[in-house]
Amino acid sequence: MSVGIKLLIDSDLDKVALLARAVRALCSDVLDEDSSHAVEISLVEAINNVIKHGYEGKPGRNVGVVVSLRPDHVEIEVIDQAEPMEASLLSNASGDRFEFDITDLDALPEGGMGLALIQMNMDEVEYHAGQGENRLRMVKRHAQRTPSS
């Protein structure tokens, strides 16, 4: 028994917080604090990327999010109609991004952290581009059911 809802904003960074707050409220019914934050940060990074990179900052385009609360996981799909991104950017992203030298001030990252955060925070991440629509599917399992996470 899955229970799903779709949320839509237009491509405006000012509206991302609305989506994030709504999705967080949905998740917090079934996920603990840390897992809810994991979903929220991943969702925000994904949507920011769609607006900034996919739609190149242009307003008036759609960004959709489908949230499904399932018995043992939460599934989030981010849907856009922008040019697809290079899928390897996502599959190559990881926590290695943060293996910087903390003593080298100049080398600290000021950007390029979003995809890495998504990979670190979600249990499954899949990107599908095609038919004028891109779908980023992200899964967060309930903490109590995955003692290894």
Partner 1 sequence: MRLIDEQRNGILVLRIDEKRVDASKAPAFKDEVAKRIEAGHSQVVLDMSGVEFVDSSGLGALVSCLKRIGPRGNLAIAGASGAVIRLFSLTRMDRVFSLHDTVDAAVEQMSS
Of residues 145, 143, 133, the one with CA closest to residue 39: 143
114 touches ligand ADP by CB under 6 A: yes
Per-residue CA distances from 137 to 57, 58, 101, 103 (Å): 22, 23, 32, 36
Which range binds ligand ADP by CB under 6 A, 18-26, 31-39, 64-72, 113-121? 113-121
- 96 close to 88: Cβ distance less than 8 angstroms: no
Beta bridge partners of 49: none
69 touches partner 1 by CB under 8 A: no
Residues 14-43 that bind a second copy (CB under 8 A): 14-15, 18-19, 21-26, 29
Work out what residue 100 binds among partner 1, ligand ADP, a second copy, none; the CB cut-off runs from 5 to 8 Å by kind.
partner 1
Q: Which residues bind ligand ADP (CB under 6 A)?
A: 45, 49-50, 53-54, 85, 89, 111-116
